[in-house]
Amino acid sequence: MLGILKIIAENLATGPASVPLPGSVPTPAGFRGPVTLNPEKCIGCGMCSYVCISDAVTGEDLGKEYAWAYEPGRCTFCARCMDCCPMHALSMAPNPVEPYEHVGERAEKHIVQFRECPECGDPVRHASEELLQRAFQEVTKETRELAALCERCRRSRLQRNMATGVFASEKGELR
C-alpha cells in the first residue's frame, strides 16, 4: 500500500505526462464546417431553410427584406442547404465551429435587402443571369426586363403585350 502512495506522490510532483501537439490538428479535405452566407448573392428564396432538417438555417420574408439566420449548434453539417441554393450564396467553412458555452453565442444573422421595381418601387427578388439561364432556354432583353419587375408590374406588362399581340395578329401582322 505504501508503494502505490509513493507512485501517486511522484506523479503529482512531476505534472502531466502527455505531450502537447505542435499547433492545431489539420482538418481533412472535404471537411464541412459552419455555413456562411454571401448576402450579395442571396435572393431570399428560402430554399435553404426549407431543406434544413435541423432548423439550423431559418429565413423570414419581411416584405422589403429577407432575414436569414444560422445556428451552428443545431447544424448537422449535411450541406443540403448549400446544395439547393440556386444562387450559390451559401458555403461551408473549412474549419470546425469554435467552442462556445451558451446557445446562440455563435449564431449568424443577415438582412438581405430586396431591389426595387423600376416601375412602382415595390420589392423584387433579384434574378441573376445564371438563374435566368437555368429557367429559360433563350434569355432575351425582354426576359431580363421582366425579371427586374415586381409580380404585379410583370403581370400588367405581360397582359399589355398579350393584348397588343392579339390585336396585331388580327390585322395579319406577326409580333
Number of domains within the chain: 2
DSSP bridge partners of 65:
113
Q: Are residues 90 and 132 in the same domain?
A: no
- Identify the H or E element spanning 155: helix 151-170
**Contact in structure between 58 and 39 (CB atoms under 8 Å):** no
Contact between 105 and 135 under an 8 Å Cβ cutoff? The reply is no
Look up cell 448537422; give the residue.
76
Over residues 41-88, the pLDDT tens digits come to 998 989 999 999 999 999 999 988 999 999 999 999 999 999 999 889
Phi/psi at 10 (5° precision):
-65, -40
Can you give the CATH number for the domain in which 96 is found?
Answer: 3.30.70.3270
Answer with the one of 73, 96, 113 that is the final residue of a domain. Answer: 113
Question: Which pLDDT score is estimated for 66?
Answer: 94
Residue closest to 86 by CA, chosen among 28, 125, 54, 116: 125
Q: 3 is written with which cell numbers?
A: 508503494
* Same domain flag for 82 and 121: no
The pLDDT of residue 153 is: 92
pLDDT of residue 174: 43
The C-alpha atoms of residue 46 and residue 53 are separated, in whole angstroms, by: 14
Residues with pLDDT less than 50, the chain = 167-175
Give the domain extent around 45: 31-113
Of residues 75, 71, 79, the one with CA closest to residue 54: 75
Single out the residue of 100, 33, 109, 111 nearest to residue 71, CA to CA: 109
Grid cell digits, residue 131: 438563374
